[in-house]
């Protein structure tokens, strides 16, 4: 995230109550922690999300992965480009419909996925450290309703 390197001062009182401001900075802090945690593996949080989606229900086309992540298919192109360059995934045309590119994890991709998931989990734990276990649970549960009110 650009801006993550910005100073993060104690909030001025007139903004400390604005949810948008708090969300921005909380997310930014989590982003910093996750980025740092994943750096040794050469990937970032967005790329881990792609890996997780592929790992869960392989193999999918680029469009399927994009839809499952609520991203545009043009954004997915460069994301898969990066992962392919790192040797973590492989594209291959779907024999049944040669317009589609099926994206599959390589064995190195599989290994990276579980390592990265563990590191990202650690980063989340660090992020939540300022909260009691109870409050952290409420936050995690609430965040889901706030992000996806229908579900």
Partner DNA sequence: TATTGTTATACTCTATAACTATA
Partner DNA sequence: TATAGTTATAGAGTATAACAATA
Binding footprint of DNA on the chain (CB under 7 A):
1-3, 5-6, 24, 44, 46, 61-63, 66, 70-75, 77-78, 80, 91, 97-101
Nearest to 65, CA basis, from 43, 41, 91: 91
Contacts 24+ apart (CB under 8 A), 94-98: 94/61
Contacts with a copy of itself by CB under 8 A: the residue count is: 64
Is there binding between residue 36 and a copy of itself (CB under 8 A)? no
Residues in 89-128 at the binding interface with a copy of itself, rule: CB under 8 A:
120, 124, 127-128
91 sits in which H/E element:
strand 89-94
In the bound state with a copy of itself, the residue whose beta carbon lies nearer, of 95 and 130, is 130
Using CB under 8 A, pick the residue from 39, 42, 56, 94 that binds a copy of itself: 56
Cα 39 from Cα 122, distance rounded (Å)? 13
Q: Is 87 left (phi over 0), alpha (psi -120 to 50) or beta?
A: left
- Distance of alpha carbon 107 from its chain centroid, rounded? 21
User: Please, what is the minimum distance in Å from the beta carbon of residue 106 to a copy of itself?
Assistant: 19
Give the Cα separation of 123 and 118 in Å (integer): 9
- Choose from DNA, a copy of itself, none: what does 55 bind? Cβ within 5-8 Å by kind: a copy of itself
24 binds a copy of itself (CB under 8 A): yes
Question: CB-wise, 131 or 146, nearer to DNA?
Answer: 146
């Amino acid at each position: 995230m650009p801006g993550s390197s910005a100073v993060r001062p104690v909030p001025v009182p007139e903004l400390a109550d604005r949810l948008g401001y708090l969300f921005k900075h909380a997310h930014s802090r989590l982003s910093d922690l996750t980025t740092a945690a994943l750096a040794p593996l050469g990937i970032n949080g967005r790329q881990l999300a792609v890996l997780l989606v592929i790992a869960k229900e392989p193999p999918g086309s680029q469009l399927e992965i994009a839809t499952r992540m609520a991203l545009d298919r043009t954004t997915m192109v460069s994301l898969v480009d990066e992962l392919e360059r790192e040797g973590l995934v492989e594209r291959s045309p779907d024999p049944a419909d040669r317009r589609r590119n099926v994206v599959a994890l390589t064995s190195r991709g599989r290994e990276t996925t579980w390592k990265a998931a563990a590191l990202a989990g650690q980063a989340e734990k660090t992020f939540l450290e300022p909260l009691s276990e109870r409050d952290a649970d409420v936050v995690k549960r609430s965040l889901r309703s706030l992000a996806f009110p229908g579900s």
